[in-house]
Amino acid sequence: MAGGGDLGGGGGRPKRGKHSKRKAKKRVGFRIDMTPLVDITFLLLTFFMFVTTLTTPQVMDMAVPPETEDVEVAESKLFTVRVREDGKIFYNQAKDIPQPILMKELRAKAIKSNLDLKNELITVLKIDENVPYETVVNILDELNLAEIKITQSLQAEKLNRERKFTISQMTDKDKEEIKGL
Amino acid sequence: MPKVKMKRTGFVIDMTPLVDITFLLLTFFMFTAKFKSEADSEQKFQIKRPKTQADTAKLPEKDVAVIRIAIDSTKATDTAYYFSVANPELWNTIKEDASLSEWFTPDRKEASKGMIKTVKIEELEALISVSRTQAKAFNITKKTSAEKAQLRFAIDSDKRIRFKWVSDVMEALRRTRQTQFNFVTDKQQ
């Protein structure tokens, strides 16, 4: 290892110069034992690797209509998706009788209904208060995925997509309509 | 001729490239490491977020007001709202707002450094409303756009929560005229 300097000198660094006993030597093949350095570095490395979280959460855009007076819309353009207490999904367009639909069929249905009416269709989502939040997000995700396809198809026809979507309160009337189905 | 096995004494490997790479990785992880904020360290629950495919936008790190709805005990019925704002300067002004003093008592203030826990939707609505007005006042005092807070609202809810909890928050946001907000989700693998 490195030679410990003039230890017997009793304080003060050994002077380099004429009177110094040490001679400046060029140390060829000089090596430092790097093992402790590597140990500590690896320790720190593993520490930082474990504390960093690489997955950052994502966000889904949502909007609620502002609190103004109700807007009159043509009922024939309404596409209503209702979710019952037990998680069953029902859809209906205009005044049709609500039809049960599976989660995986929802995307295709939303695409078809939207493309039939171009930008005219208004999607309304009504969800029972007792449905778990996960179901709600899954439905929103399906509708968002449908939206990508709709936008692409409309762009092919040189149309700009204007999404008309709202989430609204489920009334007792809504509950009554899908009760026995 | 059989090889003579030699015992290599004082065998040395040049560790310099290893050290180089290790330091490189170390500095990388040191710079990317994000440490827990006050709100995170106060958080005693874990939120199981719903998984989605369509979302690509990341949750902003600054100037976001997060409304957490979590199951914070083993009993699934025990739910509460947790409100926090990521901008520390703005967060302090919100907590000191006089209009909250009626229910936001000093001992509650003591317990909520990073986020405010509440079960009452009226209290949450007051918080949202105060955040909006305080953010406006805060932005007037700042000159550069980098200092200004573009306050966004995000609902970070556990996926097992009944929709009523979320729907109540959405109504509260609507009443305070905050019609744009976000749902926090996780990426589906």
Contacts of residue B103, defined as CB under 8 A and 6 or more positions apart, other chains included, come to B120, B123, B126
All structural domains of chain A with their residue ranges? 75-177
Q: Which residues on adjacent β-strands are paired with residue A27?
A: none
User: pLDDT of chain B along its 189 residues, tens only?
Assistant: 566 776 777 777 778 888 888 889 889 888 887 766 666 777 777 788 888 888 778 888 778 888 888 887 666 556 888 888 888 888 888 888 888 877 887 777 777 777 888 888 888 888 888 888 888 888 888 777 777 777 889 998 888 888 888 888 888 888 888 888 989 988 877
Q: Which of B93, B84, B83 is nearest to B140 (CA)?
A: B93
Contact A162, A154 (CB under 8 A): no
User: With bands split at pLDDT 50, 70 and 90, how would you rate the model's confidence at A1?
Assistant: very low
Nearest 10 degrees: CA dihedral of B66, B69, B72, B74?
-150
Residues 112-141 of B with CB under 8 A from A: none
Nearest-CA distance B2 → chain A (Å): 33
pLDDT digits (tens, 9 = 90+) for A127-154: 988 888 899 999 999 999 998 888 888 8
Q: Give yes or no for a contact between B154 and B182, defined as CB atoms under 8 angstroms apart.
A: yes
- Over range A63-72, report the average pLDDT: 75
Q: How do the residues of chain B divide into helix, strand and coil, expressed in percent and rounded to 5?
A: 40, 20, 40
pLDDT for B111 equals: 74
C-alpha pair distances (Å), A36 with each of A8, A32, A49, B29: 28, 10, 20, 20
Mutation site for B-interface testing, chosen from A30, A40, A103, A137 by largest number of B Cβ within 10 Å: A137
Strands B152-157 and B64-71, sheet pairing: parallel
The gap between the terminal CA atoms of chain A, to the nearest Å, is 87
